[in-house]
Structure 1
Amino acid sequence: MFRMIGLAGLLAVVGAGCSSSDAPPTTTVSGQVTLNGVPLETGSIVFAPIDGKGPVAGGKIKDGAYSFSSPYGSKRVEINAPRVIGQKKSYDTPDSPVVDVVEEAIPATYNTATTITAEVTQEGSRKFDFDVKAAPKPVKK
């Protein structure tokens, strides 16, 4: 959850620093994201420059589909899908508010320790499909 908030802040700062004259050229990228072969219901996807230079781009995933503008170049791809798995008290008092307990549904190899890349070019396809593999989560009692 905090990672998504931080990402949103990063995207806002990166976007705020670019005027139309100094922004790199972009193109629309799109595709499908599946989790174990099934379209990912909701989530987010980020294309970040592999060399760490330049703006980060990203968008929401809904019913497996995404589409957003990305600068050209070699990108590291991060896919996130936080899920509410329960609720807990904020603190241990009878009148404590309840907060959601969130867990990432996507393995780290697809986000914080991603190994996925995409090459966004002026020519060729700008459609990138990703089939994420994850072991089923054990049922908590």
Structure 2
Amino acid sequence: MIRISTIGLRGLLLLALVGTMGCGSGEKPAGTVSGTVTLAGNPLLTGDVNFSGKDGSAAIARIGEGGAFKVDGVVDTGEYTVFVTPTPPEPQMPGKKAAAPKKFDVPAKFRSASTSPVKVTVESGSNNLKIDLKD
């Protein structure tokens, strides 16, 4: 019969715990994401650009002047399907008339992650993406 002292058992447990933790921080690599969105070569002037990863990761950014966008925070590295959606209307104070929504004339296939053919890869560090939605 093998006898293991309490100190030896604790040492083995500590070694096993350290071995399962690994040496890394456990965080996935990530990058910052910005760029422009165009529709058939022309800047998209309104809407939100959405990034949907196969692993469930996602990001969204508002499209601004000249089709420019910037995701707040960082995005996990990997491949994403890109799609665009109309910008939701801003909440209004009671009694105040809402502004007319901007025209969002984007083909239906670019409006959903399940139908968009547009893919991008996010890498560690800074990513300046040129996203062109074209038929």
Q: Same fold (TM over 0.5)?
A: yes
Partner of 2:130: 129
Comparing both structures, which one devotes a greater share of its residues to helix?
2
Q: Which amino acid aligns with 1:118?
A: V
CA drift at 1:80: 2.3
CA drift at 1:23: 6.6
Structure with higher RCO (Cα < 8 A, 6+ apart): 2
Comparing both structures, which one devotes a greater share of its residues to strand?
1
CA offsets per residue over residues 92-120 of structure 1, 9 Å max, x none?
A: xxxxxxxx799852112222210111111
Number of aligned positions between the proteins: 98
CA offsets per residue over residues 15-36 of structure 1, 9 Å max, x none?
A: xxxxxx9874432111111223
TM-score by length of 1: 0.55
TM-score by length of 2: 0.57
Unaligned runs of 5+ in 2: 1-24, 90-99
Counterpart selection for 2:84 from 79, 83, 88 = 79
CA contact (8 A) 2:83 2:116 kept: yes
CA contact (8 A) 1:81 1:106 kept: no
CA drift at 1:40: 1.4
Task: Find the structure with the greater CA-based Rg.
Answer: 2
Q: Percent identity?
A: 29
Dislocated runs of 4+, deviation >3 Å: 21-25, 81-84, 100-104
